[in-house]
Amino acid sequence: MPTNPENQDSAARYDALNEWDLSDDFYLDLVLSADAVLDVGCGTGVLLGAARAAGHTGRLVGLDPDPDALDRARRRDDVDWVAGDLGGVTFDGEFDLVLMTGHVFQVFLTDDEARAQFTAVRRALRPGGRYAFETRNPGARAWERWIPENGVDIVGERGEPVRVEHRVASVEDGLVRLSETASSPDWPAPRVDWATLRFTTAEQVDALLAERGFEVVERCGWWDRTPLTATSREVITIARPGPLPATDRR
Ligand SMILES: C[S@@+](CC[C@H](N)C(=O)[O-])C[C@H]1O[C@@H](n2cnc3c(N)ncnc32)[C@H](O)[C@@H]1O
């Protein structure tokens, strides 16, 4: 599908803003230890591309509803890139590892949306498979640092200087509404993207996982595997499907 150059810029900007970091090292280790891997919300595909480049020989599937992000991912043709979300595909007992990295989990704004994801992840996993994801810990109040003063300067797709700033419009019931403004003296006008992110505690995550029969096998608060505390920046979870609760055998 033809894409809008502004949206392609936004996918490129995502990569410029999110350079390889400790979280990628953490997830790359997991990918390299699994045979068949599904990355839900793979975005521009950096993680699976790196896994292939590092010698992963098994099945790698990246799933994302954003055509512009996937266009960028498709610069590598040795990974399966699938357009869509877990609601629109039926993966059935196919993967040893399902991932949601880069805080994808926070785009699911209600308990019902999270439950639907967990149900689909469970279905996609082989018996004994693992599900790894993270969400920002509400105790660390990340939204308080999303202010223009913490903006960053990057280089745009055509070599132009670009300033990226975040602003929070509202924080209510665990939902943070924010904007990202990218501006450059070389552009006619700034580009503004809006998003809403849900912040859930580890206890909320665990209750939802348990409803879908997942057992948490590892929990950390940072990528060096530091245990979670009340103010850790991340709630990092690795879970395995166990028996379904008696009330929910479906
Ligand atoms: C912050 S990006 C993270 C991308 C990548 N996982 C990373 O770590 O860089 C969030 C991604 O989630 C995708 N996304 C949004 N809604 C989704 C959904 N319902 N299912 C799967 N992915 C979704 C977006 O298109 C976007 O690429």
Dihedral sign for Cα 131, 134, 135, 137, please.
Answer: positive
Q: E strand or H helix at 60, and its extent?
A: strand 60-64
Which atom number of ligand 1 is nearest to the Cα of residue 100?
Answer: 6
CA distance 8 to 95: 30
Q: Say whether both 172 and 215 belong to one domain.
A: no
Q: pLDDT tens digits for 14-66?
A: 999 999 999 999 999 999 999 999 999 999 999 999 999 999 999 999 999 99
> Which residues neighbour 176 within 8 Å (Cβ) at sequence distance 6 or greater?
143, 146, 168, 170, 196, 197, 198, 199
Q: What is the extent of the structural domain holding 160?
A: 139-198
At 7 the pLDDT is 67
Q: How confident is the model at residue 5 (pLDDT cuts 50, 70, 90)?
A: low
Same domain, 57 and 91: yes
Reported as a pLDDT band with limits 50, 70 and 90, residue 131 is very high
Q: Is the pLDDT of residue 128 over 80?
A: yes
- 2, pLDDT greater than 60: no
Q: Closest Cα to atom 13, ligand 1: which residue?
A: 41
pLDDT tens per residue, range 145-181: 999 999 999 999 889 999 999 999 999 999 999 999 9
Instruction: Say if residue 203's pLDDT is above 70.
Output: yes
CA dihedral 244, 122, 98, 111 (to 10 degrees): -90
My answer on whether 87 and 20 are in the same domain is yes
Which residue's CA lies nearest to atom 21 of ligand 1?
A: 41
Residue 135 binned pLDDT confidence (cut-offs 50, 70, 90): very high
Residue 244 pLDDT level (bands cut at 50, 70, 90): confident
- pLDDT reading at 88 higher than 50: yes
Same domain, 134 and 218: yes
Indicate whether 249 pLDDT > 60.
no
The count of domains in the chain is 2
Give me the amino acid identity at 137: N
Indicate whether 131 and 229 sit together in one domain.
yes
**In a shared domain, residues 124 and 60:** yes
Question: Do 213 and 131 reside in the same domain of the chain?
Answer: yes
Pocket probe mutation, ligand 1, options 70, 104, 135, 223, max atoms within 8 Å of Cβ: 104
How far is Cα 120 from Cα 158, in angstroms, rounded to an integer? 40
211, 132: one domain: yes
Strands (DSSP E) found in 107-174? 125-136, 152-155, 161-172
Which residue is associated with the tokens 């953490």? 26
Q: What is the pLDDT of residue 246?
A: 80
Residues 47 and 102 placed together within one structural domain of the fold: yes
CA-closest residue to ligand 1 atom 24: 41
